Structure formats: structure tokens, C-alpha cells
Amino acid sequence: MLGQLFCSLFAASMAWLGPVRTIYLRRFSEVDDTHIWRFSTSGVYSTKSAYEALFIGATEFGSWERIWKSWAPGKCKFFMWTVAHNRCWIADRLAKRGLNHPPKCPLCDQVVESIDHLLVSCVFTRQFWFCILQQFGLQAVAPRLDEHCFIDWWARASSRFSGQVKEGVDSIIILGSWLVWKHRNYCVFDGGTPSLSRVMTTFREDVQQWSVAGARGVSYLLALPPTS
């Protein structure tokens, strides 16, 4: 039964395709076909145009340059990459997966913890940013009360500077974020108590080490005259 049905369908399809087989392609030009590379204006392939074609339709990720081109140890850059992609294992992300998490931000004990809260809107962190930026006379770019997105704040703060000051600011924001994250983990996993003076002491030590290790922008900021 199925065999008969298949034969009938095959015969019907061949009958339908019959007229199609009578269509012939006609050559309209005697010029030989050539390859045209559609990703360059000249139509000629180049490695540059091929590389640029890889990014057609891609979403621009504005933070990548600040993260990967700034002077900072690799572990700190990777941490910032996880921040930018909201991949840090922090309370709001742990809660979504039903995992144990601190009920409130370990640094202020006021609101549910998220990476944006921890790094830019927490009252503890805002005070920390103000103190470290003030050392370089840059307190004007410290997070405002209505700041709720860390990456946006970093982009705005960084965009106000250029040259070595910008390099220094980017490195300092990476270092500050890394230290806040470590202090948060110290409070969560080691039972520590939030301490601004403790983080500030670590910052002063680390910023000198980063300068010695080759952070040109940080060295430039450290060499500026002290602000009153």
C-alpha cells in the first residue's frame, strides 16, 4: 500500500517538474564571470575587509577598551569583564539559581546586593570612591546619589579625561572595584566587618605597587601636586 502511494507521488512530482526541465539558461554576455568581494567597495578581497566583515551586525561593547587596554593585572581585568557582563556570583544572581546568598548587602546591610549596588550605589562604596578620587583631586567624578549603573558611571567618569590622566583614572577605577569586591568577599566568607579604613590602607599600598609595576597613568596621577 505504502509502496503504491510512493510510486504515485513520485510520478506526480516528475510530471510537475517536467516543464521545468525544458528551461535553459541563456548566456547574455561574452564576458567571463568574475568573483566580486561584497565586503569592500572595490570588490577586491583584502584581509582588512574580511576582518571588519566579522563584526557586521555585532553589538558594540563600549567597555572592552577600558577593561582590556587599561593597565591592570589580568585577574583584575577578568573581574571587570565579569562585572560588565553581569556574571559575578553575587546575591541577586545566586538567588535566581536558588543558591545560598547574603540577604542584604554585606557592606551596608540595607538593600539586596547586586553588582551595580556593590560597586557604585552602596553608601560604603560611594564613600570609598570619593576618598580615593579625592587623593588625586578627582572627587568631582565620584558617583552621585542617583548613580545606579556601574559601567555607565565608569564610562562617564573616564570620558571626562584624556591622555595619561584617563589612563590613570581607568586603572584606579579597576583597582578600586577589585578592592571593593575583595572586601565584600572578606565580609561574606571570613566574617569580616566592613571597614573603610582597611580598604583605604590596601588601596594606598596597591596603587604604589601598580605604579612601580608599570601603570604609567597611575604614576602620572601620583606625581601630581597634592590637593588641599
Give me the residues that bind Zn ion (CB under 5 A), please.
Answer: 105, 107-108, 122
Considering the complex, state which of residue 107 and residue 187 has its C-beta at the smaller distance from Zn ion: 107
CB of 123 to Zn ion, least distance (A): 6
Smallest distance from the beta carbon of 75 to Zn ion, in angstroms? 23
- Measured from the CB atom, the residue of 114 and 219 that comes closer to Zn ion is 114
Instruction: Give whichever of 36 and 111 is closer to Zn ion, judged by the CB atom.
Output: 111
Per-residue DSSP letters for the chain?
Answer: -HHHHHHHHHHHHHHHHTGGGG-------SSPP----TTSTTS---HHHHHHHTTTTPPP-THHHHHHSSS--HHHHHHHHHHHTT-S--HHHHHHTT----SS-TTTSSS---HHIIIIISHHHHHHHHHHHHTTT-GGGSPPTT---HHHHHHHHHHT--HHHHHHHHHHHHHHHHHHHHHHHHHHHS-----HHHHHHHHHHHHHHHHHHT-HHHHHHHHSPPP-
| Nearest-5° Cα angle at 54, 49 to 58 | 125
Shortest distance (Å) from residue 200 CB to Zn ion:
17
Residue owning grid cell 572578606: 186
Q: How far is the CB of 154 from Zn ion (least distance, A)?
A: 18
**Shortest reach from residue 99's CB to Zn ion, in Å:** 20
Our CB check for Zn ion shows the closer of 84 and 122 to be: 122
For residue 53, the minimal CB distance to Zn ion (Å) is 45
Nearer residue to Zn ion within complex by CB, 107 or 138 = 107
Our CB check for Zn ion shows the closer of 30 and 146 to be: 146
The single-letter code of the amino acid at 142 is A
